[in-house]
Structure formats: C-alpha cells, structure tokens
C-alpha cells in the first residue's frame, strides 16, 4: 500500500503541474488570439536567382583583383543588355521565363506545417501556369498521425489536380507519412543517404491493470458501442478487443498501400509496403524515387533558365503571441510524446 500511496501522490503532483501549465497556456493563448486578430498572416517571397547572384558576387569581390573585377563588370553589363533585349522579345511574344515556386515543409508528428502549406499552395495556384511552371516542395518528415498526413498529402494533390508539375525533394527523410506526401509528386528527388519508405502503421500502449488489481484498485470503463474502446491503459483488455485493434491497424495499412499504389504506379507495392526504410540509391532501384540529387543541386541547375521564387506563409506575432505559442508548443510536444506511447490512435511511424 505504501507503493500505491507514493504512486497516487506522484500522480497528483503531475496532474497539478499539468493543470497549472494548461491554465497558463490558456491565458497566454487568449492574449495571443486577440493579438492575432490584428496581425494576419502574409507571404514572404525570396527571389533565389538574386540570392545566388549575390553569393557569386561576394566571392568574386573577395578573390579577384581590380583588373579582373573591371573585366567581370563589363561582362556582366553586356550580359544584362542581352537579357533585357531577350526580355523585351519575350514580352512581345507574351511569354517569359518559366517559374519554379519553392515551398518548404518540415513535418512534426501532427504535420503542423500544413497550416502554412495550404496557404502557400493557394497563393501559388492562383498564378502558376500548368504549361511551363513547376512547384518544388523541399520535404523533411519522419511521419506521424494518419489523419494529419492524409490532409498534408491532399494539399499536395491540389497541385497535381491543377495540372502543374510537382517535384518533391528529400535531403534527409521522407518516411511513413512523409513518404505518403512525397508519392503524390510527378517527380521525386532524394539525396544519396536520404531515408525513404516505412510504408506501415504502428501503435503501442502499456497496460497497468494487473498492478492496480494487486493493490485492490478497481477501474470502471463504460462505453456505448462495442468497439468504442478496444485496448485501454488501466482496464482489463480482452482478446476480442485486441483482435479488433489489430484489424483496425491492418485496415489503415491497406488504405496507405492503396494510396501509394494509386499515386505511384511504378512501384511494386507488395515489395515496398513492409514497413522497411531504404536509403536514396536503394530507393531509386525500388522506384520509390526518380532521381538522386540534393535539393540545392536540383534547384540551382534551373537558375539560368527559370525564375526561382521561394514562397513562405508566416504569421506576424506579438510578444504575448510568441510566449503563448512557445508554451503551447512545449506542452503539446510533451503530451504528444505521451499520447504516442500510450494511446490507441494510429500512427504512420
């Protein structure tokens, strides 16, 4: 009983601490929401052609002597004259350089970045020309919640459905839910040691029913609906509930496999849907990707032939907003780690 008393005391302290943090977060969030009403989100546009030109110019000024710099300046002046002439000809033909719109997606367990991604895609699709433009998504994600990454993949499908070429580049990882997003693309590019695949589903939870029973602690769980709850942390699990839980995971895995197969018909879905991961070169052999390259290399090779535009949707935040979001994010991450270990929700990774 002493052990049980210590456990209950620890639990009470934990609940008190979490309750205090929740109240603090609620107050800060309320303040932040008032601030957000006055500060709407906006797009930040970066012209990468100019960025690359500045990098090159800085290096030349550091390495070339005066005579070489003078010669280079003359060369650049002639180049600018030719470009202006070409631009005028293009305007007469009502056709300019193709545009490459570059978006960044860094996925957490809830695919939170989809909030910005949906706005960025809406903005890009309002201008993109399906005959000549391209959207490049720099994607990094190890996966997460099924419904969250399902929404993120659906956002990318909007680009495909509009007929605009979609390329996904992966420098580090696009696994599980991350690969679910990537497979929507017309063209997938990955670095040699990027991690791809993990087409599978997982969930886990502990069960402390025997421990509670040993200390004469009863847990009552009432549900309306036979399978409203299949497995629990505190109650006694049944074989019937366990089998239903496994069947739900199998059904989710089947949906995942069907989605990948429909979006990327070249893959042998039975070979790649084992939950395994593969590095870039092996992923190319398995046709999970189309090309080995870093995102920087893929984008920079278009610098002379296309207008490179990086698009990012950001929210303007005040001090209270930042404090509220920081506290909310810290609490959310802690709770999601616990939820991921102990809940029966389905995960892609």
Q: What is the pLDDT of residues 81-96, one digit of tens each?
A: 666 655 555 543 445 7
Instruction: Read off φ and ψ for residue 159, nearest 5 degrees.
Output: -70, -50
d(CA 187, CA 8): 55
Q: Is the pLDDT of residue 321 over 80?
A: no
175: which strand partners? Answer: 197
- For residues 87-114, give the mean pLDDT: 79
Q: How long is the chain?
A: 349
Kindly indicate the confidence band of residue 319, based on its pLDDT and cuts at 50, 70 and 90: low
- Report yes or no: 189 and 167 within 8 Å, Cβ to Cβ: yes
Domain range summary for the chain, segments of one domain joined by + = 1-38+317-349
Find where tokens 């934990």 sit: 14
DSSP string, 115-174: HHHHHHHHHHHTT--TTT-EEEEEEEB---BHHHHHHHHHHHHHHHHTT-EEEEEESSEE
Higher pLDDT, 96 or 282: 282
Q: Is the pLDDT of residue 317 over 80?
A: no
DSSP 205: -
pLDDT tens, 210-260?
Answer: 888 888 888 888 888 888 888 888 888 888 888 998 899 999 999 999 999
- For residues 10-39, give the mean pLDDT: 63
Q: Is the pLDDT of residue 143 over 90?
A: yes
Find where tokens 């006055």 sit: 38
Mean pLDDT of the chain: 83
- For residues 147-160, give the mean pLDDT: 96
DSSP string, 287-338: TS-SEE--HHHHHHTTTTTSEEEEEEEEE---HHHHHHHHHHHHHHHHHHHH
Q: Is the pLDDT of residue 31 over 80?
A: no
Instruction: Read off φ and ψ for residue 104, nearest 5 degrees.
Output: -115, 135
- Report yes or no: 172 and 202 within 8 Å, Cβ to Cβ: no
Helix (H) or strand (E) holding 105: strand 99-106
pLDDT tens, 165-214?
Answer: 999 999 999 999 999 999 999 999 999 999 999 999 988 888 888 888 88
d(CA 102, CA 46): 9
DSSP 99: E
- Report yes or no: 294 and 171 within 8 Å, Cβ to Cβ: yes
Question: Tokens for 236?
Answer: 């006694």
The residues annotated with a catalytic role in the active site are 176, 228
Range 99-113 burial, b when 16+ CB lie within 10 A, else e: bbbbbbbebbbbbbb
Find where tokens 């957490």 sit: 108
């Amino acid at each position: 009983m002493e052990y049980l008393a210590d456990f209950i005391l620890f639990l009470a302290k934990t609940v008190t601490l979490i309750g205090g943090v929740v109240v603090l977060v609620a107050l800060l969030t309320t303040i932040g929401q008032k601030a957000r009403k006055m500060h709407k989100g906006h797009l930040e546009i970066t012209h990468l052609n100019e960025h690359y030109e500045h990098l090159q110019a800085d290096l030349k000024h550091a390495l070339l002597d005066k005579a070489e710099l003078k010669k280079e300046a003359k060369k650049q002046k002639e180049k600018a004259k030719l470009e202006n002439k070409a631009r005028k000809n293009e305007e007469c033909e009502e056709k300019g350089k193709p545009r490459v719109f570059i978006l960044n997606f860094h996925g957490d367990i809830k695919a939170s970045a989809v909030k910005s991604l949906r706005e960025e895609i809406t903005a890009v699709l309002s201008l993109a020309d399906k005959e000549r433009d391209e959207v490049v998504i720099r994607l990094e994600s190890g996966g997460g919640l099924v419904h969250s990454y399902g929404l993120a993949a659906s956002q990318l499908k909007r680009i495909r459905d509009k007929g605009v070429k979609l390329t996904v580049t992966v420098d580090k990882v696009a696994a599980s839910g991350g690969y679910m997003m990537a497979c929507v693309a017309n063209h997938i590019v990955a670095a040699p040691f990027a991690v791809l695949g993990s087409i599978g589903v997982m969930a886990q939870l502990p069960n402390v029913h025997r421990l509670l029973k040993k200390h004469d602690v009863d847990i009552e769980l009432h549900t309306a609906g036979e399978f409203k709850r299949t497995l629990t942390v505190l109650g006694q699990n049944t074989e019937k509930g366990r089998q239903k839980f496994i069947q739900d995971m199998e059904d989710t895995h089947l949906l995942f496999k069907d989605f990948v197969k429909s979006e990327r018909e070249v893959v042998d879905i039975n070979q790649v849907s084992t939950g395994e991961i593969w590095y870039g070169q092996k992923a190319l052999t398995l046709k999970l990707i189309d090309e080995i390259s870093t995102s920087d290399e893929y984008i920079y090779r278009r610098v002379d032939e296309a207008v490179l535009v990086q698009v990012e949707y950001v929210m303007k935040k005040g001090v209270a907003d930042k404090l509220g979001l920081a506290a909310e994010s810290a609490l959310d991450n802690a709770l999601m780690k616990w939820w991921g270990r102990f809940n029966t929700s389905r995960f892609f990774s």
